[in-house]
Structure 1
Amino acid sequence: MLTQPTGTDQESTSMTEAHSCVAITGATGFAGRHIMPKLLMGGHRVRALVRSRKRLTAASGNTHTIEGDIFDDRCVEQLVDGADTVIHLIGIIDENPMNGITFENLHVNATTRLLQAAKDAGVSRWVHMSALGARPNAVANYHKTKWEAEQAVRDSGLDWTIIRPSIIHGPDGEFMKLIKTWWTSFFNPPLIVPYFGAGPFGAGGSGHLQPVWVDDVAQCFVDALTNPRTIGETYPMGGPERYTFPELYAAVRDRLPKTRCKMIVPMPAWKAKILGRLPGMPFNWDQVVMSQEDSICDTSKVEHDFGIKLAGFTEKLDEYAANIG
């Protein structure tokens, strides 16, 4: 259901504000929670499709909320009706096929449905969340379906921008909360902090990560709306520092106010792949595969086109480590 704003929308004749009705999916997710306030502070009118209004923390008189599902035609039509731009953030890292939650459904089918609705409604601009590592020959289905969604966007005829971040970090992100739990909980897991390692015993190392600050990602999504240079461009995005998983875990440990005495210990990736196929495991096959690949990139293009200096991981972690959660 479409709710009415609690304030009065102001129309503007300026170029920046004339195209300021933004339809957004994934507004209650990690990145979305940081993009929403930046959109509102920038004077944009926002229309958000959410499964629960209670989870939408950043709202104002310039926010319309539509409570529903991306596969509900009526909700999608309401979302894009009268919008100038779509910011599409929906993505999953774990599947639940029994409930229709699969990479194919949420990455590809949801994107193609929304693209068609956006074109039918006369939307002209699309800013898309993808992932570093998306490619047609990817081993992980996560990356394959992210690539298929990208291709649908490129073929849409809209003015598009695709942003491909490495792992996104911040105090309210699930990844950082998980690492904190590992270091501070006695039982979860006991005695060790695990990662997936190559080789028979897991001692062959892992892929490298280039963690990127969530507010840098959010700023690029918002700035793309008024930056014509970004139209038709794909932006790999990561922070200035690169880490293996053990190095990243150690960096978090060293900055948390209080930790338990644990060792960083590898689980052989070959074993984890087998376990990741089983129901009820806290990780899946795709996550194991991706942990063995580098998620790194050259950041010069995104920094040049957006005029941004990407924040370092430890720089920001020093600021928020005590507030993770």
Structure 2
Amino acid sequence: MILVTGGTGLVGAAVVKELASRGKPVAVMSRDAAGIEKRFPDLGIEAREGDVTEPGSLKEAFAGIEAVVNSVQFPNSPIENKRKGWTFEQVDYQGTVNQVAAAKQAGVARFVYVSGVGAAQDAAKHWFVSKWKAEEAVRTSGITFVIVQPTWVYGPEDVALNRFMGFAKRLPFVPTFGNGQQMMQPIFIDDLAKIIADALEKPEANDQTFEAGGPERLSMDDVVRTALEVSGKKRPILHQPAALGKLMATLLQVLPGPPLTPDSIDFITNEAVADNAALERVFSPKLTPLREALATYMS
């Protein structure tokens, strides 16, 4: 039995569907077991309730599990909410530590962690450090592991790119923060799901870390323009200074659930590119170009 934690989110749900299509027995862990059944009504998925920030809830959820895919993200990621404990440190790092402990206790044989490209001990941004610490918890666990570090993941259910398209429907322009020249290497969700599913089966991937990006490197503006073209919309891109975004986000912190934080402005204006050499060597993935992938759900 394979357990996908965070299995109702963007990446996790795609992995669940890919594994189910391969005939694999899959369990999904979420804080809301009823929500799992609604998310996958016809796939025969086993629902297990658990919260990665509550170690005591994980023992039963991990019982009888042979392999784990950890794709947990906190709600509204990357916008942290410290009041609710929705932070990279609490969920990405400590939540992974808690899962590793539960996996060891349950005798799990394989642990696949979905991290993020840029994770590093000396990274300038705390979210990259938290993800690196989570990776280290996996690497030193004694469990056979695979770490996948995707770039920007997009698909029918992603929030970021679809938000731009939402702006295009409601406004005569598409607003963005920054100059739009940061380089991106977006990876289609279906491609990433196949890579993660393969990571559960390939012994040559054992105890390795793989960056995973799409087949093209494009500026952020080019990504948005391509999406606009595929969806048949003509809109200019309106660039707003990142500093203005941070000021707006700072003022919004008085709200109980702020829609932006200053750190989230940095997150969304970061470059996200990958070195796919190791990925190509071990997985030989078929990576879908942006325009071709977008046409499957936007045109």
Say whether the fold is shared (TM-score over 0.5): yes
Distance in 1 separating the partners of 2:10 and 2:43: 22
2:213 to 238, 241, 244: 238
2:53 partner amino acid: F
Contact 1:196 1:206 in 2 (8 A): no
2:209 partner amino acid: T
1:310 to 280, 287, 296: 287
2:79 partner amino acid: D
Contact 2:28 2:36 in 1 (8 A): no
Secondary structure at the counterpart of residue 43 of structure 1: coil
Distance in 2 separating the partners of 1:152 and 1:87: 15
Deviates more, 1:173-182 or 1:213-222: 173-182
2:49 to 56, 60, 67: 67
How far 1:96 sits from its partner (Å)?
A: 1.2
2:27 partner amino acid: R
* RMSD of aligned residue pairs (Cα, Å): 1.9
CA distance 1:180–1:235, shift in 2 (3 Å): same
Distance in 2 separating the partners of 1:274 and 1:179: 21
How far 1:283 sits from its partner (Å)?
A: 2.8
Could you give the per-residue CA deviations for residues 222-255 of structure 1, whole angstroms, max 9, x where no partner exists?
1111100111111111111122221111111111
CA distance 1:102–1:242, shift in 2 (3 Å): same
1:33 to 5, 9, 13: 13
Contact 1:195 1:245 in 2 (8 A): no
CA distance 1:111–1:77, shift in 2 (3 Å): same
2:84 to 84, 91, 99: 99
Q: Does 1:247 align with 2:229?
A: no
1:289 to 241, 262, 266: 266
How far 1:35 sits from its partner (Å)?
A: 0.8
Contact 1:207 1:291 in 2 (8 A): no
Deviates more, 1:246-255 or 1:48-57: 48-57
Q: Does 1:147 align with 2:147?
A: no
* 1:274 aligned partner: 247
Contact 1:139 1:289 in 2 (8 A): no
Distance in 1 separating the partners of 2:159 and 2:270: 20
Alignment of structure 1 residues 126-275 onto 2, 5 Å: 126-186=111-171, 191-197=172-178, 203=179, 205-257=180-232, 259=233, 262-275=235-248
Secondary structure at the counterpart of residue 295 of structure 2: helix
Q: Give the TM-score normalised by the residue count of structure 2.
A: 0.90
Secondary structure at the counterpart of residue 215 of structure 1: helix
Structure 1's unaligned 5+ residue stretches are 1-20, 198-202
1:35 partner amino acid: V
Q: Does 1:77 align with 2:59?
A: yes
Could you give the per-residue CA deviations for residues 33-54 of structure 1, whole angstroms, max 9, x where no partner exists?
1111221222322221112323
Could you give the per-residue CA deviations for residues 53-105 of structure 1, whole angstroms, max 9, x where no partner exists?
23542355753212342233443111211111111001231111111211111
Distance in 2 separating the partners of 1:255 and 1:277: 35
Distance in 2 separating the partners of 1:224 and 1:71: 25
Structure 2's unaligned 5+ residue stretches are none
Distance in 2 separating the partners of 1:61 and 1:319: 22
Contact 2:79 2:259 in 1 (8 A): no
How far 1:303 sits from its partner (Å)?
A: 2.3
How far 1:291 sits from its partner (Å)?
A: 3.8
Secondary structure at the counterpart of residue 266 of structure 1: strand
Distance in 2 separating the partners of 1:46 and 1:235: 23
Distance in 1 separating the partners of 2:268 and 2:222: 13
Secondary structure at the counterpart of residue 40 of structure 1: helix
Distance in 2 separating the partners of 1:237 and 1:43: 25
Distance in 1 separating the partners of 2:109 and 2:50: 23
Secondary structure at the counterpart of residue 282 of structure 1: coil
How far 1:265 sits from its partner (Å)?
A: 1.7
- Structure number with greater Rg is 1
Name the structure with the higher helix share: 2
Contact 1:141 1:286 in 2 (8 A): no
Distance in 2 separating the partners of 1:306 and 1:242: 20
Distance in 2 separating the partners of 1:41 and 1:68: 25
